[in-house]
Every structure is written in C-alpha cells, then in structure tokens.
Amino acid sequence: MSGIPLLGEAFPEMEVVTTHGTMKLPEAMAGKWFVLFSHPADFTPVCTTEFVAFQKRYPEFKAMNCELIGLSIDQVFSHIKWVQWIGEQLKEEIQFPIIADDMGRVAAKLGMVHPGKGTNTVRAVFIVDDKGILRIMLYYPQEVGRNMDEILRCVKALQTSDAHGVAIPAGWPNNELIGDKVIIPPAKDVKTATERTGQADSFDWWFCYRKL
C-alpha cells in the first residue's frame, strides 16, 4: 500500500504501452490535465458502455485541456480488437489511448487491484493536473459503471477552484443552497469575520459565497 500515491503528490513516473504506442507518464501529458481510468476487462458490457460514454464527452475534456487514458490488464492486441469492434458495431471511434497493463505493474502501483473484488482492475479514476499532481482518486466496483458527467464536473471544479481561489459546493453548478455560486474561503481573523457577518450572499461569517 505504501506505493499508492496520495492526493497532492506527484503522479508516479512510468513507461506504458498503449494503443497509441509507448509513452512516459506524466511526461507525455506535460502542460495538460489528464484522467487515467481503469476498467476490469475488454469485451465486457459495462466497460463498453463506459468507453462509449467517455468518447462522446472527449471533446468536452479536450476543451478543458484534459486528456483521457484508459487502462486494463488486457494485452494491447485485445484493446485494439475491442476498439475496432466498438467502431464497427457501435459507430463510435475511440480516440484516446488505452494502456495494456498485462503485467499488472501499473495496477499494482496505483492500487487498482482489490483482492476482495477479484483479480482484474476495479474501476479506478485518477485526475492529474497540468503540473503532474494527483488531484482526485475515485474507485468503483466492477458491477457499477461510472458517471462520466461527474468526472467532467470534477475537472471543471478543480480548474475553477485553482483559477479563482474558491471552494466548490456539492452538486455544483446546481447546488440546492447557492445554485451556481462558489464558496469564499473562511475568514482567518476576527476582523474579517466581523465584516462578513450579516452580509448579503452569506449564511454566516464562515459560509459566504459569490458569483464567479
């Protein structure tokens, strides 16, 4: 477990074989955000729905300077055949690379294999920023497919937080309390707390919000 990276740490350096050739991570994504996501196996129904869903949203990820990278412990020829099948049968061209981790080295380094859930990779998601820092980790079991709109939201939320120095509420930009507004960092001194008390766009001095 000690080798698994933690939030705020640099994404570990690794050389990987993909459907787009060999690449070094995170070096190959320098200056870009990327989402690395694992799936249990090629030619399985839930994974196929996920890849189609990711591909349909790929332009939205790219618009945020964010790339997608898939991964499973299948061999690269299996990835290639599966991608071809998706293109031929479902009319969706998978344009992002898929890592062939057939030796399981990447899966072991990133904690993608959970013995209680079998020998395949679980549905892990790693969001890495343009400086190579791991910002979000998500894990789903094999039996539950992911919500790609939530992953898109996570990237947008992180980028918004970084750009404006704010926190992001639950369900943003459709929060039940403050809609599409964002949360101002809490006051750090009595003077600021006093000034914020009773202000508009504030529930209390420690819970203030604003429009971007």
Q: Look up the pTM and report it.
A: 0.93
Range of the domain at 192: 165-212
Q: Are residues 108 and 182 in the same domain?
A: no
Angle between the 45-63 and 148-164 helix axes, to the nearest 10 degrees? 30
Cβ atoms 100, 74 nearer than 8 A = yes
**Would you write out the chain's pLDDT as a tens digit for each of its 212 residues?**
346 899 999 999 999 999 999 999 999 999 999 999 999 999 999 999 999 999 999 999 999 999 999 999 999 999 999 999 999 999 999 999 999 999 889 999 998 989 888 888 999 999 999 999 999 999 999 999 999 999 999 999 999 999 999 999 999 999 999 999 999 998 889 998 888 888 889 999 899 999 99
Q: Which of 47, 66, 154, 208 is catalytic?
A: 47
Examine the residue annotation and report whether 47 is marked as an active-site residue of this protein: yes
Cβ atoms 187, 196 nearer than 8 A = yes
Residue 9 belongs to a domain: no
Q: Are residues 142 and 169 in the same domain?
A: no
Q: Are residues 128 and 175 in the same domain?
A: no
Residue 76: in which H helix or E strand, if any? helix 76-90
Residue 27 belongs to a domain: yes
Per the structure block, which two tokens stand in for 105? 């080295």
Residue 109: in which H helix or E strand, if any? helix 105-110
SS3 content of the chain, % helix, strand, coil (to 5): 35, 25, 40
Q: Are residues 110 and 32 in the same domain?
A: yes
Q: Report in angstroms the alpha-carbon separations of 91 from 111, 115, 119.
A: 33, 35, 31
Contact partners, residue 72, CB within 8 Å, separation at least 6: 38, 39, 40, 41, 42, 47, 79, 98, 99, 100, 101, 120, 121
Q: Are residues 177 and 142 in the same domain?
A: no
- The number of domains in the chain is 2
Q: Are residues 114 and 67 in the same domain?
A: yes
Per the structure block, which two tokens stand in for 134? 């791991």
pLDDT at 3 (0 to 100): 67
Residues 83 and 56: their CA atoms lie apart, in Å, by 14
Q: Are residues 94 and 128 in the same domain?
A: yes
Residue 155 belongs to a domain: no
